[in-house]
Structure 1
Amino acid sequence: MSADGFTRMSLYGINLDLFSSSPIVILKVEGENRYLPIWIGQPEARAILMKLQNTEFPRPLTHDLAANLITELGGTMERVTVTELKDSTFFATISIEIGGRIVEVDSRPSDAIALAVRSGAEIFASDEVIEEAAVVFEEGMEETSEEEVVEKFKEWMNRVSPEDFK
């Protein structure tokens, strides 16, 4: 874990919960075989996937608009942080540097991640959230093919539900 209580994460992917048909964004603890699954809404999953796939639209969508507003007002998205897990709900903040000071804005993790992929902001999670909700795979995923990793997540998702994180 980290010294300051927060660990750098990377966006590993988005999958679908087979029971609820809800999308799950999967964050990976950098340098470890620990993954943080967060159930999100369909629109936010689409927003994240569209940006990851470099899909262009003639007009900005909601998350593009928010990222543009931050930039046009002189701000820079520094990081997003998954801060808490309470009653099966994840919480996050967006850290924006503007005018020499850092402003923390409350957010859903899905919206924060959608903005992070647009701005290049780093993604973090609190060590407490990781301890409570991360999934650990014994063997190294880096040596495992992407298809095998997806299969392992599908197997795991067949056994778990959002209520398991209460």
Structure 2
Amino acid sequence: MGANGLTRMTLYGINMDLFSSSPIVILKVEDENRYLPIWIGHAEAKSILMKIQNQEFSRPLTHDLAANIISGLGGVLEKVTVTELRDSTFFATLNVEVGGESVEIDSRPSDAIAIAVRTGAPIFAADEVIEEASVVFEESMEETPEEEVVDKFKEWVNQISPEDFK
């Protein structure tokens, strides 16, 4: 798949798991019809949605604060990576460059993605995670009307649960 065992992803969107009422962030492999669904918390989903919808607040929210801390200390978020899937739980890291050194920081994927959308940092996933937990659609979603894409994801989400990714 990708170089160094990592594949670049884009944030495709956020959907709702109708069975658990949990939000799902959906990452897409660039230039493929392969998608990586990650169940996340409501607060993180709201944080991601607020940023991609360009909602502004007078005071920084938690993920804004984290991005401000990184930049305030002279750092740059180089990338975030979904690194592992273990016991139905996804793991991630933040790679921050500070003073010419790269520091890897453990993170939940939802927090890493929320910070990445604030800083413009690229999102990656380990190829093993993509192989284990992604879903592939036959036709290109970019050429499909948005309502049909949402319907396809809802249909797919209604057939699976987090336990399917063990």
TM range (shorter): over 0.9
1:58 aligns with 58
1:137 aligns with 137
The answer for unaligned runs of 5 or more in structure 2 is: none
1:73 aligns with 73
State TM-score, norm by structure 1. 0.99
Q: Give distance in 1, aligned partners of 2:83 and 2:92.
A: 5
Query: Following superposition, which runs of at least 4 residues in structure 1 exceed 6 angstroms of deviation?
Result: none
Q: Give distance in 1, aligned partners of 2:148 and 2:29.
A: 19
* Secondary structure of the structure 1 residue equivalent to 2:97: strand
Counterpart amino acid of 1:113?
A: I
State TM-score, norm by structure 2. 0.99
Q: Give distance in 2, aligned partners of 1:20 and 1:2.
A: 33
1:2-17 aligned at under 5 Å gives the runs 2-17=2-17
2:99 aligns with 99
**Over residues 33-80 of structure 1, what are the superposed CA-to-partner deviations in whole Å (9 max), with x where a residue is unaligned?**
000000000000010001011111111011001100100100000100
Identical aligned residues as a percent: 77
**Over residues 63-121 of structure 1, what are the superposed CA-to-partner deviations in whole Å (9 max), with x where a residue is unaligned?**
00110010010000010000000000000000001000110000000000000000000
The number of aligned residues is 166
Counterpart amino acid of 2:142?
A: E
The answer for unaligned runs of 5 or more in structure 1 is: none
* Secondary structure of the structure 2 residue equivalent to 1:4: helix
2:23 aligns with 23
